[in-house]
Chain A
Amino acid sequence: MNAGGNRSRRYRQKRWRLRRDRRNFLRPRIANWAASPSVLSHWGVGNHHTTTRDPFVLDEPIEITLPVRLNFEEDYERTVGHFNTLRSASVGLRRIKKLRFEELLFISPAAALVLASEVDAWNERVQGRLRANVESWDPEIRRLLIQMGYFELLGLLRPRIRTTESSITFVNFRRGEPGASDSGKMAQDLRVDIEAIVGTGISRKRLFEGLSEAITNVSQHAYPPSVLGGDKKRWWLSASFDRASRNLNVIFYDQGVGIPKTLPSSDLWENIKDAFSRWSDSEKIGAAMEYGRSSVNRPERGKGLKNLLEFAKAYEDGKLSIYSGHGLYRLEHTRDDRIRTTSREHKRSIGGTLIEWSVKL
């Protein structure tokens, strides 16, 4: 009986080893991480021993050091590379032990919003167990993130640290989830916050039109139900104002499939679909802006992308930048009342759609 018990135990152990080897063989291998491992921590996942193990997650949790600059304009690939790594944690492909902020000296408002969205999703993945150690962050970065409501967004206590003065003022992050929320009120609240900083002179109707369209696009197009996570139609919104340059930036981001991936199917698009499939992402964004983005075969739908431009058009030198997939498509309102467009193609995808309005007040 005892010998039979041993045989049974050995058989179970052998079966377990076979399952383990098979699991390891099938495990996805992820290479070329943008971020390098490092030693000290700034963001960390607390309570490690209770973390639920996912059999398809790579074993060793990594540490990420954010670079000196996070900025889509001059450092796009490096910036997006770090965000892609964070995304892999929030979708469960990778475990991240620590996210270090100590080398970070500059972050643009748009990059700050995307970073917030990635950490927000990661925090949800680890069920709100992120902890922050802000003492060694650069004072300007600390001020920026405190002002943007980074800690409130993550459900963390706001650090009691005196912040430095700066010409740039940031408006609190907003996170929207279409369905049960009054999204319009959130857009209005952002405008009220902006006016508290800049005065009441902004073109509020045009801003609301642009934000309306951005929000509607998220719920109608950005997260198709066939895509993993398509039920979480989240978006993030923020703004910043530079008193020195009088530049106002309003930024909207979603983590959806991107404009180039929502292949339209209206009659017009059917005629040019073959050509469309060969276009670059920036060309697709441009075409969607020009002709509408009807991924549902209805003529009344998808025409609103042009609404995005109205806020930029309300100002001399107003700019609208749309990063989606690998592309950037930018429209600038020139002083002679024309619209100048520029585009750029990137190696890495921004992992959704980022819309940035930049106007001089």
Chain B
Amino acid sequence: MKNINIAKEFSETPLGRFADDSLYNGTTFRESFLRPALDANSKVAVVIDGVEGYGSSFLEEAFGGLVRKGYYTSGQLAEKLEIRFEDVDFSVYRDLIWKYINEAKMESKS
């Protein structure tokens, strides 16, 4: 299993969807860390605690974006992706991540 620790490997202050929002945004995390790890491994654990917090824009773009962009279905992510944390305050973010994954609809290519 591949582990990704957001605070240690990406940023303690992830924010926003796009590069316009911040250097450490949801698109950059998805494209540079999450998707390559999912492509190369059968299971990926993402450690989400240790950061300042998460806005919904970052979480939706990073995780919901995997489905919207057509990289994975929500069913595949349920098999491959695990969200980990020790700080119980972060359980709310885990719930949001799965909400965004399950609500996301694949974008049409037109």
Q: How far is the CA of A184 from the CA of B13 in the complex (A)?
A: 5
Whether the pair B64, A219 counts as a contact (CB closer than 8 A) is no
Query: Quick one: closest B residue to A189, CB to CB?
Result: B13
User: Which of B13, B17, B60 touches A188 (beta carbons < 8 Å)?
Assistant: B13
Query: Quick one: closest A residue to B12, CB to CB?
Result: A188
By the criterion of a CB under 8 Å from any partner CB, how many residues of chain B are at the interface? 29
- Given A182-B23, A188-B12, are A212 and B17 also a contact pair (CB < 8 Å)? no
Q: How far is the CA of A303 from the CA of B24 in the complex (A)?
A: 20
Task: State whether the Cβ of A53 lies closer than 8 Å to any Cβ in chain B.
Answer: no
Q: How far is the CA of A181 from the CA of B65 in the complex (A)?
A: 23
Chain B residues within 8 Å of A206, by CB: 53
Q: How far is the CA of A206 from the CA of B103 in the complex (A)?
A: 23
Least distance between B20 CB and chain A CB atoms (Å): 4
Whether the pair B60, A212 counts as a contact (CB closer than 8 A) is no
User: Which of A179, A204, A212 touches B15 (beta carbons < 8 Å)?
Assistant: A212
Task: State whether the Cβ of A162 lies closer than 8 Å to any Cβ in chain B.
Answer: no
Whether the pair A205, B16 counts as a contact (CB closer than 8 A) is no
Task: State whether the Cβ of B70 lies closer than 8 Å to any Cβ in chain A.
Answer: no
Query: Quick one: closest A residue to B14, CB to CB?
Result: A184
- Given A205-B52, A212-B53, are A219 and B21 also a contact pair (CB < 8 Å)? yes
Q: How far is the CA of A298 from the CA of B14 in the complex (A)?
A: 22
Task: State whether the Cβ of B19 lies closer than 8 Å to any Cβ in chain A.
Answer: yes
Chain B residues within 8 Å of A233, by CB: 20
Task: State whether the Cβ of A92 lies closer than 8 Å to any Cβ in chain B.
Answer: no
Contact mask for chain B residues 83-110; partner A; CB cutoff 8 A; 1 contact, 0 none:
0000001000000000010011100000
User: Which of A178, A204, A213 touches B52 (beta carbons < 8 Å)?
Assistant: A204
User: Which of A185, A187, A219, A300 touches B60 (beta carbons < 8 Å)?
Assistant: A300
Contacts beyond the supplied A183-B21, A205-B54: 9 A-B pairs with Cβ under 8 Å:
A178-B20, A181-B22, A182-B11, A182-B24, A184-B11, A212-B53, A213-B57, A300-B64, A300-B103
Chain A residues within 8 Å of B104, by CB: 300
Task: State whether the Cβ of B72 lies closer than 8 Å to any Cβ in chain A.
Answer: no
Least distance between B23 CB and chain A CB atoms (Å): 5
Q: How far is the CA of A182 from the CA of B28 in the complex (A)?
A: 13
A contacts, CB < 8 Å to B: 178-185, 187-188, 191, 204-209, 212-213, 215-216, 219-220, 233, 299-301, 303-304, 307
Q: How far is the CA of A342 from the CA of B45 in the complex (A)?
A: 44
Chain B residues within 8 Å of A191, by CB: 52
Chain A residues within 8 Å of B68, by CB: 300
Least distance between B52 CB and chain A CB atoms (Å): 5
Chain B residues within 8 Å of A299, by CB: 105
User: Which of A185, A213, A219 touches B18 (beta carbons < 8 Å)?
Assistant: A219
User: Which of A181, A204, A208 touches B55 (beta carbons < 8 Å)?
Assistant: A208
Instruction: List 29 A-B residue pairs with CB atoms under 8 Å apart, sorted by A's residue number.
Output: A179-B20, A180-B23, A181-B23, A182-B13, A182-B23, A184-B12, A184-B14, A184-B16, A184-B24, A188-B13, A188-B52, A191-B52, A205-B52, A205-B53, A205-B54, A206-B53, A207-B53, A208-B53, A209-B53, A212-B55, A215-B21, A216-B17, A216-B21, A216-B57, A219-B16, A219-B21, A299-B105, A301-B17, A304-B55
- Given A185-B13, A215-B15, A300-B64, are A307 and B56 also a contact pair (CB < 8 Å)? yes
Q: How far is the CA of A228 from the CA of B13 in the complex (A)?
A: 31
